[in-house]
Amino acid sequence: MVPLIAIWAVMALSLDYGYWIALLLSLPAAGLVVRLFMIQHDCGHHAFFKSRRANDLLGALIGVFTLTPHGYWRDAHAIHHATSGDLDNRGIGDIVVLTVREYQALPRWRRLAYRLYRNPLVFFGLGPVYVFVVKFRLPLDMLRRRWRLLPGVLLTNLAIVAVIALVGFVVGYAEFAMIQVPITMIAASIGVWLFFVQHQFEATSWDKAADWDFHRAAVAGSSYYDLPAVLRWFTANIGVHHVHHLCSRIPNYRLQDCLKRVPELRRINRVTLLESFKCVPLTLWDEERRRLVSFGALARDRRSARAERAPD
């Protein structure tokens, strides 16, 4: 929090010398917001401190910086961990993934809607901003069933408004927006990207509930995102995601120790930074091949099937 506030203050002072300075500084500032979110993530698993109360207090405080109501996100993310890779229990705390059969059975307008949702400009651009800025202000997907989460959501919203009002009064509301909007947009996109790569790689794993196994889904359905050291620090080792899903009570500052003690884990579902960009087109789960496939691959399969059926 301290370096983030310091960079934010420098960005405010730099506006008199050129907006480009603030824009350059928005990248490390966004990186610090991502790291804060990962600490909040550990707090949600009650893993950062031994004390459950300390985890929830710090998580709620960080939630003002990350625009994320802690109690809501904690419960939604717990559902994600309990159902990750389960085809019969999708919809809370995860990315919408359709199987090939489900996609082909949709009417044309719903197929177009899904393709728009999975378009990279929407998925990594507009979508993250919508989630963190709009959806998290009143996340009805959970509040309909768990109204006890509502006070925490409203308190987070009030705290965010108070911070905007106070800081905007000091530096100017237009200046506040000039500084904060790029930070929020970059941090939100990075956060969604990380969550995407952690589960949306070609050899991931999905099963029907009858065949689903927690431990197999944790290891086979989560990647080891092998990032350079500086990015590992900003992302708080969340790339060691298969270990995290096996045991979410391991704090981020112990995940690298797990890789050192069990080096075989380094070879399971390893995805490098360059390789991760190949995950972007993967949009549909092929139950027969047990692979994520792209819309393009599905179209090629259709053309091949038609060619085989055509008379000589």
The model's pTM is 0.92
Cα angle 195, 198, 201; round to 5: 120
Give dist(CA 9, CA 149) in Å, integer.
33
Res 88: pLDDT: 93
Token code pair at residue 235: 């992302």
181 alpha carbon, distance to own chain's centre: 19
Q: What is the pLDDT of residues 14-60, one digit of tens each?
A: 999 999 999 999 999 999 999 999 999 999 999 999 999 999 999 99
Res 139: pLDDT: 86
Res 208: pLDDT: 94
Phi, psi of 69, rounded to the nearest 5 degrees: -65, 120
Res 94: pLDDT: 84
Contact 192, 135 (CB under 8 A): no
How many other C-beta atoms can be found within 10 angstroms of the C-beta atom of residue 58? 19
44 alpha carbon, distance to own chain's centre: 14
Token code pair at residue 127: 């979508």
Q: Which residues of the chain have pLDDT under 70?
A: 305-312
Q: What is the pLDDT of residues 205-217, one digit of tens each?
A: 999 999 999 999 9
Res 308: pLDDT: 67
